[in-house]
Amino acid sequence: MVNPLLDEKSTVMVWLRNDLRVSDHKSFSLATKSGLRVIAYYSFDPNQFKTTPWGFKKTESHRAQFLIETLSELKQSLIGLNISLIIDTIDPVTGIENLVETLNIKEIYFQKEWTQEERVVEEKLITKLDEKVNFYSNFDQFLFHPDDVPFELNNLPEVFTRFRKQCEKTCNVRQLSTEITPLNKENLLGQSFSIPSLIDLNLEIKKPHPNSAFPFKGGSEEAKSRMDHYFWKTKNLSFYKQTRNGLLGVDYSSKFSAWLANGSISARQIYWEIISYEKEIKKNQSTYWLIFELIWRDYFKYISLKHQDSIFHLGGILKKEYDWENDIEIIKNWINGTTKEPFVNANMIELKKTGWMSNRGRQNVASYFAKDLLLDWRIGAAYFESQLIDYDVHSNYGNWMYVAGVGNDPRDRKFNVRLQAERYDEGGKFQRIWNQKTLFE
């Protein structure tokens, strides 16, 4: 039988991970200028769907569904550019190694990742293929590029405010990468690759919940549609600072984090759209505050780049020594929303049912987990990783360290959950919507 992939043409591969878009994509921009055939590759790595020691999957249904939708849209966008997207469901080191000979791959372009799991895969791949393939990596996930920030990595400030002020003073956000023009049709492979379903990934199909604050689909077009709605159609951006601590509804916050997390949209794309909005509609504290949040996102990426695997250690980047509890029943109560705190419960039920939780909710349930229940914060972080549609390794572990008192919070504060509920859920509407009965709807 003839292998439909077998071809003598020299090929370049764009290896995709958390950069699932076509626009403002450095690797695609460089690869399509190579003059060689261009293919893209993504693997649903089985290691990302295994069961954790605490009984939940590393990636659960909500996040996986968003990822499937993202890849489905990306595949069609790439076909429109005559670029084939190879979809794999095996370890990417093995998958890519198998393709190097078959497709005569000479170059591999990819977004640089540095957190533990991604780094191990990358190192294994380069070790195996170093003599056969040229690798080209780039930092494409930042608002402020590492070459432009005013710090050596070792001297990166441990307090956000100093980082922010220095970057705002001296850094410019780079312009977007050039758009890709369609390649010749001969660039396409003679085979299409199917995207696995939730069933294929051994995950449960979840119906969208009518009360979800995140009723959106994955993919760049959906991200751009959301940006158009939040900025231009509703002008909600002008009120972001006042509404961002909301709990109910679609428009209390931008909701961009999910598309940013898997790279369906870049921080630069959002930034330059804000600048356009400020010129055409209005510049105020709210427009600045969304940029402020993008800088926070950058900061956690730089913190993980500086401290590497320390962000996954019990003592965090402060290397604090703690005696933590690991009582599985107490952990289950937190996960299932059956603690003694109704506000914590409501947020945890919302997470379980929708894959989403507000920023205000996240801070409260994490503080309660680490500071009241005195549990190992990394278990809570792992559960967020499992459930959150907008899971981003840097922001997730950076925020959990911050709340647990082992990260970048100079005040090491503890949230009073009941006072927070009174302030942000006055009248208890959020808690009534997300109560125990919701679990059985």
Query: Residue 433 maps to which CATH number?
Result: 1.10.579.10
Kindly state whether residues 23 and 126 are assigned to the same domain.
Answer: yes
Mean pLDDT within 27-50: 96
Kindly state whether residues 430 and 376 are assigned to the same domain.
Answer: yes
Query: pLDDT (tens digit, 9 = 90+) per residue, 132-188?
Result: 999 999 999 999 999 999 999 999 999 999 999 999 999 999 999 999 999 999 999
Distance between CA atoms of residues 86 and 74, nearest Å: 11
pLDDT of residue 20: 98
Domain endpoint, select from 307, 336, 355: 307
- Average model confidence (pLDDT) for the chain? 95
Domain endpoint, select from 287, 307, 327: 307
Domain span at 28: 11-140
pLDDT of residue 438: 67
pTM of the entire structure?
0.95
Residue 21 within a domain: yes
Per-residue pLDDT for 339 more than 50?
yes
CA geometry: angle at 363 spanning 361 and 369, to 5°?
100
Kindly state whether residues 29 and 73 are assigned to the same domain.
Answer: yes
Per-residue pLDDT for 55 more than 60?
yes
Neighbours of 169 (CB within 10 A): 8
In this prediction, residue 409 has a pLDDT band, given cuts at 50, 70 and 90, of: confident
Domain endpoint, select from 106, 140, 174: 140
CATH of residue 88: 3.40.50.620
Q: Identity (one letter) of the amino acid at 282? A: K
In this prediction, residue 58 has a pLDDT band, given cuts at 50, 70 and 90, of: very high
Number of domains comprising the chain: 3
In this prediction, residue 436 has a pLDDT band, given cuts at 50, 70 and 90, of: confident
Kindly state whether residues 234 and 335 are assigned to the same domain.
Answer: no
Kindly state whether residues 300 and 358 are assigned to the same domain.
Answer: no
Kindly state whether residues 288 and 330 are assigned to the same domain.
Answer: no
Residue 189 within a domain: no
Residue 25 within a domain: yes
Which CA distances in Å does 200 have to 64, 268, 321?
11, 35, 42
Kindly state whether residues 342 and 300 are assigned to the same domain.
Answer: no
Q: Taking every pair of C-alpha atoms in the chain, what is the biggest distance, in angstroms? A: 69
Mean pLDDT within 109-126: 97
Query: pLDDT (tens digit, 9 = 90+) per residue, 236-286?
Result: 999 999 999 999 999 999 999 999 999 999 999 999 999 999 999 999 999
Residue 436 within a domain: yes
pLDDT of residue 2: 35
φ, ψ of residue 84 to 5 degrees: the values are -80, 140
pLDDT of residue 390: 98
Residue 198 within a domain: no
